[in-house]
Structure 1
Amino acid sequence: MGSAPSADFFQPLKADDPAVVGGYRLAAVLGAGGMGKVYLSYTPGGRPIAIKVIRAEFGEDPEFRRRFQQEVRSAQRVQGLYTAPVIDSDTEGSQPWLATAYVPGPSLAHAVARHGGLPSSSVLLLTVGVAEALHVIHGAGIVHRDLKPANVLLASDGPRVIDFGIARAADSTALTSTGVSVGTPAFMAPEQASAGTVTPATDVFALGLIAAFAATGASVYGDGPSHAVLYRIVHEAPDLSGLSPQLRPVVTRCLSRDPADRPTLSEIIELCNEASAVPLRQGEDWLPREVAGSITERLRLPAPAPTPPPQPPTAAPTERSPQPPAPSAPPAAAAAPAYTPTGVAAAPTQAAPAQPAPGTVPPGYRTPPPHVQSPHAQSPYPQPQYPQPSYPQPQPQPQPQYPQPQYTPGYSTPPPFHTQGFAPPAPPRPKRTGLIVAGAVVAAVIGLAVIGSLLPDGKGKAGDSKASGGGPTGSSASSGAQKRADPQPVSYQGIDVPQNHQLLFADNPPRPAEEPSGAGVTYGHGDLYYYRDTLFGEERFGTANGKLVLLNNSEKGSLETCRAVTRFTEKVGLDQLTDGSQICVLSKAGHVAVATYRGKSGANEPSMYIKLDLTIWRNAEDVQKD
């Protein structure tokens, strides 16, 4: 695939794609995942960047948004030669987004899938580059937690580690072309698989797995169901038979089951240099020719989207257009794909100075220029004939066709500040006519209201109107006060939840994971967990982030049922469940789910797990405050 056209990597924007995000004009689609889409854009100086736009439904989830904000702030502290730095973001908008430097190269997962394993010399350079990246990431107080081939990009001058610090908010990223997904068990450390404490040594274990994968094109713990792979990681030795003598010592040390026995990042770099016959230096020839060809193709960037035609003199702060701007005209921010303010052109379309249109002003530039804050600059009908601020009193709004703003002698309407005693021709009759007409209208409205209150409503009782709202509009007021429409349910079948693992309903799809804080799932943040006490053999199905209800056989699992039942608890024993048992789970984040129990692993299987079907109504209720 070295000759594949660049169109394979840069897809054109579609009708449902935005044209501008945060002031950046989009040029192409780089990819899509469970969390959203990644777009190509450019800085004002022409440097390409990658913008990840989060799907709207995730942005509506308060817990997801909170985690995303925290992880983006952490990622912004990382600046290294072997990382793709975060250069801009908006975590508060309706659709959060994140901009990073664009890396023109395939992921390690993509390269190995298309071209097979890399030579030992390339793997050693890959390993030292990723080790340096982890040194910078750990120095910022961050554990990557999700180091895997899909998160290592192969640039012409060495590897780049991406998505550091975003792992906890990115659990819903879709599968890559090789089937490697966020949180995949094949690249977890034993402490992650057994709900232990996650430390920087966890990333060292993942680095050993990546080096072995880069050399052999396969996982050293084999394939199969997630629970089987996790069991082998915790209890069995890896298969390193496919590694060269140069790589085996490095990988063996990194894959020590005890985190304390794993080497430091400095030791890893030392071991790689000792294993190499020549000094390790990153250069243009560090990758095989066919992989380097993929980099060349990704350098053929599509041109930025055409800039809209220049606007009339609205671009200058002191000029005003004689005609109001068309509602469909793009904001001026789109004309300059940058993280600089473009308030001059955006001003005519804004409703108020303090509320810029979403996506037209990038983060860090929330306040428009002073002339934009002027209420006159916000008027949809600017008056070019005379400066309004010079009039201390409000004047009648002149129509565009009138060339002169002053009142002519023949104008029938007097100026607002007429002299005392001045009266226009025949003023009494127009005033009396207006009062009579207004009185007639009011009387008619009152009469209709009285008649309507005496008529029976849909139930045949006139008194129901009073009971529902105290008047003829009570029913309308009551229906208007109803809460938002119920969300559509999303169903997931056959989820295997290993022992001491949890699920988060905000993730799409929900994937079993350990509690990142190390507190354990029973004291963690999971919306649903499966816990097995190995000492006493107790097995629990519970929630650490809400409440649940075990439904009776006569109760059908639905959103209405879950809202109605009140037999709340936080856990139930597995001995209370049979195949088909349904449990309502109501999380504090506002999600409602019906979990259908489908049994657990057999006695002869290598690990313990339960199987569930899930139906989730995301954001069905208000967020509960502790």
Structure 2
Amino acid sequence: MSSTPSAEFFQPLKADDPVVVGGYRLAAVLGAGGMGKVYLSYTPGGRPIAVKVIRAEFGEDPEFRRRFQQEVRSAERVQGLYTAPVIDSDTEGEQPWLATAYVPGPSLAHAVALNGALPLRSVLLLTVGVAEALHVIHGAGIVHRDLKPANVLLAADGPRVIDFGIARAADTTALTSTGVSVGTPAFMAPEQASAGTITPATDVFALGQIMAYAAIGAPAFGDGPSHAVLYRIVHEDPDLSGLPEELRPLVTRCLSRDPAARPALTEIIELCQQISPEPLRQGEDWLPRKVAGSITERLRLPAPAPTPPPQQPSVAPTPTEYSPHTPPPGGAHPYAPTGHAVAAAPTQAVPGIPAAPGMPAAPGLPPGYRPPPGYQTPPPGYHNPQAYRPGYPTLPPTHPTGYPPVAPRPRRTGLIVVGSVVAAFVGLGLIGYLLPDTGGKGGDAKADGAKSGGAASTSGSSASPKKRTDPQPATYEGIDVTGNYAVMLGDNPPTPAEDHSGGVMYGKGDLYYYSDSMFGDDKLGSANGKLVVLNNSQKGSLETCRSETRYTEKVGLDQLGKGTQICVLSKAGHIAVATYQGKSGPNDPSKYITVDLTVWRNADDPKAR
């Protein structure tokens, strides 16, 4: 089988497409919609991501920007096994964008259009997966509003819901009255079509549409002009004649015009389990073979676009411009690739830098000036921060690594070297004498520095840092964590201890179990670090936990199943994989959860995550 990326899934960048967005170098176009364009890119570690760039028209609307920022912040809190997590964003740039994990799978719309309706088991597994995703999304205070086949991706281990909450940012903006369509009419709920109140039940109606579309192979309210489809949604019954009998009662309830009559998401999951002749379990065989083959095609990813060759500007940079070797204030973007193109040096010498042979001298230098022997042309993009300015004395240029300076005069070399060494020793001695002796480690450090005469610091700067040796893991099975108790990863063994802080602060442990019997709020969380809920396809390991960035601080127990693995990253530098094994039964005298822990102590530098 060929390893060449398929042009059907990955379209090349066009002239009007950006090359880099937020420090991410783009590799291909994944798709486009009413709100923007989606590109394939990679993190510095090589993980593929999808970067969605919002249309410029939306970016110009201040109300959209305000809402978009709110929705992105909410979406970053979503930690579900059936969602594509948001890993980065910029809501304040010229064109807002956000980046999510790349899901190698076709959309439901593409799969049905190419292969037709899905079998019953696939429809049921699709439904329970999307229902779980909506449960997590609603738990974060988000209503999807635009749940449709194009926003449901079919991965090897289950569906993924994308673009949750983004449609809300476009509601009531200036663009909604100018003909820009955000939602898809064929999958809107009646309250959306009639400008009614939007609630989580709105997404349940869309889920019913998703079920019907997957099982029938066509929208339940038909195709045609938008106004005709919306009229049928509000006033007519759906066409469910091609729906399997087993699904008809559930789909009919989901498509009720009365939001209060639609079933809850938990009830939908239970009914799907009852409909299935065998227990529903997500696995790699949940999709028909033809659809699964499309997933394999999407794993052959194209490489990022090559860095374009340097281009020479027509004018010399001014003394106030930043050197290409010096980043501007604020530092680089945390995901900025190292392969960005840098503009070449100008053909005319910069003021204060002698011209190369055969080139005119810089302004302010005498005509016919030629560089001294040994001088070489500066590399592309070189800029002298000490260049000549009117009213200031001319200073010698600085040189980047690999760029030799002007040949020195031999008769002064020895004096300069000796003078520099003597000055360094005198300076270090004076500093050591003037600094107060604070005692303890600080005093010892000062004394050691004076004794070494600075030689240690010189050798230290040239020595390469030692590579951290990964610690050996320690495994603890069957740890019962009682409600409102916490575990510290540094303890050996990690013994749950009662956390008296409690309340709305949840706790102070590296891993705590918070249980509120009054409101039924059960959460697993970390007050001293971060958590990452791993997908079914991921194996809990030190490498996995180090590379994951889908951080959260707490997760509801209703999002966890037996065997779910969670990375725990403590501020003290300990890393652990917690495997959730279940919780106490209704007849148990106490309320607790059971976890297995694999702990790598001091696997990272202590820091605030």
**Could you tell me the TM-score, scaled by structure 2's length?**
0.51
Q: Following the alignment from structure 2 to structure 1, what is the Cα–Cα distance between the partners of residues 201 and 308? A: 51
DSSP-derived class of the 1:304 partner: coil
Q: Following the alignment from structure 1 to structure 2, what is the Cα–Cα distance between the partners of residues 171 and 4? A: 41
DSSP-derived class of the 1:243 partner: coil
Contact 2:35 2:182 in 1 (8 A): no
Q: Which residue of 1 aligns with 2:247?
A: 247
Letter paired with 2:126: L
- Please show how residues 485-564 of structure 1 align to structure 2 within 5 Å: none
Q: Which residue of 1 aligns with 2:91?
A: 91
Contact 2:130 2:159 in 1 (8 A): yes
Q: Following the alignment from structure 1 to structure 2, what is the Cα–Cα distance between the partners of residues 105 and 331? A: 41
Residues 1:26 and 2:26 are matched in the alignment: yes
Letter paired with 1:147: L
Q: Following the alignment from structure 2 to structure 1, what is the Cα–Cα distance between the partners of residues 282 and 245? A: 22
Q: Following the alignment from structure 1 to structure 2, what is the Cα–Cα distance between the partners of residues 36 and 193? A: 22
In the TM superposition, residue 331 of structure 1 has moved relative to its aligned partner by 9.6
Contact 1:10 1:29 in 2 (8 A): yes
CA pair 226-307 structure 1, distance change in 2 beyond 3 A = closer
1:59-87 per-residue CA deviation (whole Å, 9 max, x = no partner) reads 22323322322222222221211011111
Residues 1:382 and 2:385 are matched in the alignment: yes
Contact 1:64 1:169 in 2 (8 A): yes
Q: Following the alignment from structure 2 to structure 1, what is the Cα–Cα distance between the partners of residues 323 and 112? A: 46
In the TM superposition, residue 304 of structure 1 has moved relative to its aligned partner by 2.7
Q: Which residue of 2 aligns with 1:396?
A: 393
- Please show how residues 276-315 of structure 1 align to structure 2 within 5 Å: 276-306=276-306
1:519-561 per-residue CA deviation (whole Å, 9 max, x = no partner) reads xxxxxxxxxxxxxxxxxxxxxxxxxxxxxxxxxxxxxxxxxxx
CA pair 235-17 structure 1, distance change in 2 beyond 3 A = closer
- Please show how residues 309-328 of structure 1 align to structure 2 within 5 Å: none
Q: Following the alignment from structure 1 to structure 2, what is the Cα–Cα distance between the partners of residues 331 and 396? A: 23
Q: Following the alignment from structure 2 to structure 1, what is the Cα–Cα distance between the partners of residues 197 and 39? A: 35
Q: Following the alignment from structure 1 to structure 2, what is the Cα–Cα distance between the partners of residues 250 and 344? A: 53
Q: Following the alignment from structure 2 to structure 1, what is the Cα–Cα distance between the partners of residues 322 and 50? A: 29
DSSP-derived class of the 2:26 partner: strand
Query: How many pairs does the alignment contain?
Result: 349
1:328-377 per-residue CA deviation (whole Å, 9 max, x = no partner) reads 979989xx99734689999999xxxxxxxxxxxxxxxxxxxxxxxxxxxx
Among candidates 334, 338, 342, match of residue 339 of structure 1: 334
DSSP-derived class of the 1:211 partner: helix
Q: Which residue of 2 aligns with 1:596?
A: none
Q: Following the alignment from structure 2 to structure 1, what is the Cα–Cα distance between the partners of residues 65 and 119? A: 42
In the TM superposition, residue 52 of structure 1 has moved relative to its aligned partner by 1.1
Q: Following the alignment from structure 2 to structure 1, what is the Cα–Cα distance between the partners of residues 397 and 305? A: 35
Q: Where does structure 2 lack aligned partners over 5 or more consecutive residues? A: 173-180, 311-317, 345-380, 399-404, 410-609
Q: Following the alignment from structure 1 to structure 2, what is the Cα–Cα distance between the partners of residues 224 and 348? A: 52
Letter paired with 1:339: P
- Please show how residues 6-405 of structure 1 align to structure 2 within 5 Å: 6-169=6-169, 182-306=182-306, 339-340=334-335, 380-383=383-386, 395-398=392-395, 403=406
Letter paired with 1:148: K
Q: Following the alignment from structure 2 to structure 1, what is the Cα–Cα distance between the partners of residues 407 and 333? A: 41
In the TM superposition, residue 154 of structure 1 has moved relative to its aligned partner by 0.7
In the TM superposition, residue 36 of structure 1 has moved relative to its aligned partner by 3.0
DSSP-derived class of the 1:250 partner: helix
CA pair 258-56 structure 1, distance change in 2 beyond 3 A = closer
Q: Following the alignment from structure 1 to structure 2, what is the Cα–Cα distance between the partners of residues 96 and 265? A: 32
DSSP-derived class of the 2:29 partner: strand
Contact 1:325 1:348 in 2 (8 A): no
DSSP-derived class of the 1:6 partner: coil
CA pair 284-244 structure 1, distance change in 2 beyond 3 A = same
Q: Following the alignment from structure 2 to structure 1, what is the Cα–Cα distance between the partners of residues 338 and 47? A: 23
Q: Following the alignment from structure 2 to structure 1, what is the Cα–Cα distance between the partners of residues 326 and 115? A: 45
In the TM superposition, residue 380 of structure 1 has moved relative to its aligned partner by 4.2
Contact 2:324 2:342 in 1 (8 A): no
Q: Where does structure 1 lack aligned partners over 5 or more consecutive residues? A: 173-180, 311-322, 350-377, 389-393, 407-626
Letter paired with 1:396: P
CA pair 337-220 structure 1, distance change in 2 beyond 3 A = farther
CA pair 332-246 structure 1, distance change in 2 beyond 3 A = farther
1:450-497 per-residue CA deviation (whole Å, 9 max, x = no partner) reads xxxxxxxxxxxxxxxxxxxxxxxxxxxxxxxxxxxxxxxxxxxxxxxx
In the TM superposition, residue 137 of structure 1 has moved relative to its aligned partner by 0.4
Contact 1:105 1:153 in 2 (8 A): yes
In the TM superposition, residue 198 of structure 1 has moved relative to its aligned partner by 1.2
Q: Following the alignment from structure 2 to structure 1, what is the Cα–Cα distance between the partners of residues 332 and 382? A: 26
CA pair 396-34 structure 1, distance change in 2 beyond 3 A = farther
Contact 2:108 2:152 in 1 (8 A): yes
Letter paired with 2:393: P
CA pair 185-308 structure 1, distance change in 2 beyond 3 A = closer
1:421-443 per-residue CA deviation (whole Å, 9 max, x = no partner) reads xxxxxxxxxxxxxxxxxxxxxxx
Letter paired with 1:75: A
Contact 1:24 1:41 in 2 (8 A): yes
In the TM superposition, residue 160 of structure 1 has moved relative to its aligned partner by 0.6
Which of the pair has the greater relative contact order for Cα pairs under 8 Å at 6+ separation? Answer: 1
Q: Following the alignment from structure 2 to structure 1, what is the Cα–Cα distance between the partners of residues 307 and 3? A: 31
Q: Following the alignment from structure 1 to structure 2, what is the Cα–Cα distance between the partners of residues 140 and 189? A: 21
In the TM superposition, residue 271 of structure 1 has moved relative to its aligned partner by 0.3
CA pair 216-109 structure 1, distance change in 2 beyond 3 A = same
Letter paired with 1:397: T
Contact 2:36 2:55 in 1 (8 A): yes
Q: Following the alignment from structure 2 to structure 1, what is the Cα–Cα distance between the partners of residues 332 and 100? A: 14
Letter paired with 1:157: D
Letter paired with 2:99: A
In the TM superposition, residue 212 of structure 1 has moved relative to its aligned partner by 0.2
In the TM superposition, residue 405 of structure 1 has moved relative to its aligned partner by 11
Q: Alignment identity in percent?
A: 78
Q: Following the alignment from structure 2 to structure 1, what is the Cα–Cα distance between the partners of residues 72 and 219? A: 30
Contact 1:52 1:99 in 2 (8 A): yes
